[in-house]
Structure 1
Amino acid sequence: MSRPKTLRKVVAPPNFKGYRPYGTNVEPTDSIELLYEEYEAIKLADYDLMNHLEASKLMGISRPTFARIYETARRKIAKAFVETIEIKTVYGDALLEKHWYVCEECQTRFTIPKTIEEHECPLCKSERIELLNT
């Protein structure tokens, strides 16, 4: 019996639901799920240029665990590029630092301070919002 996974801290969810290849004659029939923690690992290592130890501390996991998450994310992205497969972001084993919401109308992702009672999209004012932290 394996031990339960430690939740990985993610500062903010990705600002997209996915990526789809275009300019190809082949319609993508499959998709790859990129977990929020995999997105965070790519962002920290390749965009923020953190080393694995710094990034692992920020995510609240060990350095070897970070390295495994990062490698899995890189392989998924490479496979999607080479095989022209759509990438979709999914929640995974993430622990978001704040309460994050997504608007079901315009797909905007945003956070609301706990003191605000009114829950509506700051962009389109729709009340059809969903909590991402579940």
Structure 2
Amino acid sequence: MSRPKQNRKISNPPLMQGFKPFGIPRKMLKEVTLLYDEYETIRLLDYEGLRQEQAAEQMNVSRPTVTRIYEQARKTIAQALVEGNMINIVGGSVQFERQWFRCRRCYRLIGGRENHVRCKSCKTYGNDELKPIDAQEK
């Protein structure tokens, strides 16, 4: 029996919840799932330009684990691009550095309730409009 996955450290969830190809109605699209840890490896390695050892240290996993996560992320993104699939970015075995919320009305990402301010898109204001981002959701 294999041991359970260790939670991967993620600095923050992505600003968006996914991507959709232009010109195709959502109801006609197939969906693929990109997990938060897969998104984080793409962010750290490709966007930030870190080496795999550095990314592994930030995510609190081994370098071979980062390699496996990265390969799966690239495969998922390539499949979405080639087949014209929608990408949903959700959950997985991760832990955030702090509690994150998303506004139910404007979908803005908010790091901690103390940082919640009324945005221009929201007609009402209160903590009930904040939806906690659960790292384990799939």
| Aligned pairs, number | 130
**Cα separation, 1, equivalents of 2:134 and 2:5:** 17
**Cα separation, 2, equivalents of 1:66 and 1:122:** 38
> When the two structures are superposed, what TM-score results if normalisation uses the length of structure 1?
0.87
| RMSD of aligned Cα (Å) | 2.1
Q: Equivalent residue of 2:131, what SS?
A: strand
* Shift in Å, 1:120: 5.1
1:76 aligns with 2:76: yes
Deviations 1:63-111 (A, max 9, x none): 0000000110001000000000000010111111111001111111111
Q: Runs of 5+ in structure 2 lacking a partner?
A: none
* Alignment map for 1:1-134 (pairs within 5 Å): 1-23=1-23, 28-112=28-112, 116=114, 122-123=118-119, 124=122, 125-126=125-126, 127-133=128-134
**Cα separation, 2, equivalents of 1:110 and 1:6:** 26
> When the two structures are superposed, what TM-score results if normalisation uses the length of structure 2?
0.85
User: Structure 1 pair 105/24, CA: closer, same or farther in 2 (3 Å)?
Assistant: closer
The residue type equivalent to 1:131 in the other structure is P
Q: Runs of 5+ in structure 1 lacking a partner?
A: none
